[in-house]
Amino acid sequence: MRLFTAVYPSARALAHLDLALGGVGLHAVADPGSGLRWLPREQRHVTLVFHGEVPDGAVPAYVDALHAVLAGIGPFELDLAGSGTFGGRTLWVGLGGDVAVLRDLSGHVADAAGTAGLPAGDRAGGRPHLTVARASAARVGADRTRRRATRRAGAGPGEGGQGAPFTQWSRALTVYRGPAWAVTEVAVVSSALGAGRSGGPLHTLEAVVPLGGAAAARQ
């Protein structure tokens, strides 16, 4: 199975982000057009470690290792803040709050993966983020061709569209800041490519592991 470990924003944080996205471009969120895909709210997560393909029976030992390494890490707070794109094809929202603790948590998760014999090659590093939407290479290429044609036709700045598919959103969300939420657990999730909504991945929750002190913090 294809596996990753992540933290998920609260329902309140995700709802606040949806309102912000709707304020930037409601029609395009509801109907993004060919070559654009908005991630469903339930799939919006902050990856701690991406493990890739692992044996189906590897999860229990990994979860045991997670319990051991996370026992000493207490709950902390994050918020969604800022935005940008990766190569014009991926729209992301950044993080604020205790980001240093998040990076430390990612390192502990990677340690647990190593203990269980799982790969941990892709970690939350210098720019932890939450992916919001993706564009196909064909859509990015078509937009680039349209911009070149517009320039050749002599259109002035700002004419002929908004540039790359996510330019409008990334610029508008640069100053975005959502409500804080408490990170109290990590999720181990499997991902089946192409098996989900509109040809996207199907995510299945394999395990939830609490941070140390999380139960006491909720009392």
- 160 lies in a domain? no
Residue range of the domain that includes 203: 2-135+169-218
- 72 lies in a domain? yes
d(CA 28, CA 35): 12
d(CA 195, CA 201): 5
* β partners of residue 67: none
- 153 lies in a domain? no
Q: Which one from 16, 45, 51, 108 is the annotated catalytic residue? A: 45
Q: Which one from 16, 51, 108, 129 is the annotated catalytic residue? A: 129
Instruction: Check if 67 is active-site.
Output: no
d(CA 58, CA 76): 28
The pair of structure tokens assigned to 92 is 């992301």
Predicted pLDDT of residue 157: 43
Residue 174's identity, in one-letter code, is T
Residue with tokens 């304020």: 23
- 27 lies in a domain? yes
One DSSP character per residue, the chain reads -EEEEEE---HHHHHHHHHHHHHHHHHHHH---TTEEEPPGGG--EEEEEEEE--GGGHHHHHHHHHHHHTT---EEEEEEEEEEETTTEEEEEEEESHHHHHHHHHHHHHHHHHTT----EE--SS-EEEEEEE-HHHHHHHHHHHHHHHHTT--TT-S--SSTTHHHHHHGGG-B---EEE-EEEEEEEETT-SGGG--EEEEEEEEEPTTHHHHH-
- 18 lies in a domain? yes
Assess contact for 3 and 206: CB atoms under 8 A. Answer: yes
d(CA 106, CA 128): 10
- The CATH number of whichever domain residue 76 belongs to comes to 3.90.1140.10
Predicted pLDDT of residue 126: 66
Instruction: Check if 51 is active-site.
Output: no
The pair of structure tokens assigned to 218 is 């909720």
Predicted pLDDT of residue 158: 44
Predicted pLDDT of residue 6: 96
- 178 lies in a domain? yes
d(CA 191, CA 173): 28
Predicted pLDDT of residue 56: 85
Predicted pLDDT of residue 165: 72
- Mean pLDDT per 10-residue section of the chain, whose length is 219 residues: 96 94 66 72 94 93 97 96 87 95 95 94 76 72 51 49 69 94 97 74 94 57
- 85 lies in a domain? yes
- 60 lies in a domain? yes
Give the number of domains in the chain: 1
Nearest one of 118, 108, 130, 125 to 190, comparing CA atoms: 118
Predicted pLDDT of residue 136: 66
